[in-house]
Structure 1
């Protein structure tokens, strides 16, 4: 039987975790009678995308993202529209997509999922030449992502510290939307366009979102009094954000959002400069994910 060739793309800085023993663990857990692993480490922005493209050209049977949602985004963007599946070993600060898919946070358990080699076809979203698979956003959470990208202190604690710092002086902004041809205007604290329900760390902004329904959920978080912040956080972690009076969710396939300035937009947690007008379309069943 010919072994399946698998490329592990390791982000050495994701989640603030050291991964020096990862290769050894793969060799202990992966079924080496069926799989032939290769390891490559990223060392610059978009390197994971480049390595995944090379893997397609070199006819690898799967590419495994060893990192967080940003690493998954780069590799998934290369693999979308191909038959090459993406595997995930969650090593990020939030791991939103992996948590939603039920992929274990434990490395050995996640590797055993790779051994099963079962996959599901999922939707992704297209933003010009960019893609996202979990959540895109603008406003407050994009400002957090932009600041967090430049922090040296990573991991969930570092992320929480960044959230608190940005929250202290953030002001809501005005947006214009066109969702499947219908127009809206809103002043919002933040906008999340959700393919899956959660940001990560089990914080659910769009409890009813699904990565296989051909829709995106546009979640508009309106300005809210600061004293209601504990209840907003409760809703996030209790999967009831849609029940908050300050949250409006509009599903759609074709979304245009216009912002007043040129503030950053995040795609799967990675800040991007996409200008004032952002056009988003669903790509149905575009990527196979091993889960």
Structure 2
């Protein structure tokens, strides 16, 4: 009898504001149990998914699956980065940017059926001041929103929108010095996003031309714009046309340095992290396998 592949499902019970009490039962109904032997573990503290991923390597699992949002994917992906172990995704976050880009269904059963195929793709990963990111990292307005959202009692898109409105009321653009592949720029920006994939999540595309396996990061500089144009800017995001706005400049690069006035929040795949005034960013080409 052929040996079944051992898969560890790492479940974030609070991601996306969704209950996951019936998830294990659903996996046992949908997953091909002749091919796969599933184990389930639930995260209960920050960085727990990372710890479980590291343990999965030592325990000889054949794959790990992030059942959560981009933050859970980040922790679990960081744990297995540089190994041959593939990462599966069952999208359960507020935005699910990476999953949407990869075409992984948001429906739980459909996402589990993708794992049955066990097809993998090699993707690029980014690094910012020693922290890994797989989708998008950023500073400025979106980082401040992520920082606020971390304390929001309402999860999901509604909570994120509420955080964005609260931050927008008194947010000011900053001056940044950037060095991208050796070329220096000085920009006043509302925010700067460094994109490995095109979208934040919920089909909001900040870097429509970005590719997750081209060995390049897209540095998206959103300039100061009149507040009355906010609806148009939002339209560009959801119409995959942000790169056509006069207030958005996108510069591709592999090695990036950003210097700002002082320390502050940076979002790393949507999770706020306090970092210093100097940010050093690089890309690792095709460094992670994802089941899709």
Question: Structure 2 length as normaliser, TM-score?
Answer: 0.99
Q: CA deviation at 1:227?
A: 0.7
Residue matched to 1:274: 275
Query: For 1:158, what is the secondary structure of its paired residue?
Result: helix
How far did 1:128 drift? 3.3
Residues 182-261 of structure 1 aligned to structure 2 (within 5 Å): 182-261=183-262
- Which residue of structure 1 lines up, in the alignment, with residue 5 of structure 2? 4
* Alignment match, 2:27: 26
How far does residue 287 in structure 1 lie from its aligned partner after superposition?
A: 0.2
> How big is the shift at 1:274?
1.8
Alpha-carbon offset, residue 153 of structure 1: 0.8
Within 5 A, what are the aligned runs for 1:77-92?
A: 77-92=78-93
Normalised TM-score (structure 1): 0.99
1:95 partnered with 2:99 = no
How far does residue 168 in structure 1 lie from its aligned partner after superposition? Answer: 1.1
Q: Residue 136 of structure 2 corresponds to which residue in structure 1?
A: 135
Q: For residue 150 of structure 1, what is the aligned residue in structure 2?
A: 151
Count the aligned residue pairs: 291
1:156-210: CA deviations, max 9, x gaps? 1111111111111111011110000000011100000000000000000000000
Please name the residue that 1:176 is paired with.
Answer: 177
Measured in 2, the distance between the counterparts of 1:126 and 1:81 equals 13
Distance in 1 separating the partners of 2:73 and 2:254: 22
2:45 maps to which residue? 44
Work out the CA distance in 2 between the residues paired with 1:264 and 1:127: 13
2:108 is equivalent to residue 119 of structure 1: no
Mapped partners of 2:279, 2:79: distance in 1: 21
Q: Secondary structure at the match of 2:264?
A: coil
**C-alpha offsets along residues 103-150 of structure 1, whole Å, 9 cap, x if unaligned?**
000000000000000000000012233100000000000000001011
For 2:78 and 2:178, locate their aligned partners in 1 and report how far apart those are by CA, in whole Å: 25
Matched position secondary structure for 1:131: strand
Q: Which runs of 5+ in 1 are unaligned?
A: none
Give the secondary structure class of the aligned counterpart of 1:234.
helix
Q: Does 1:110 align with 2:111?
A: yes
Paired position in structure 1 for 2:14: 13
- The unaligned stretches of length 5 or more in structure 2 are none
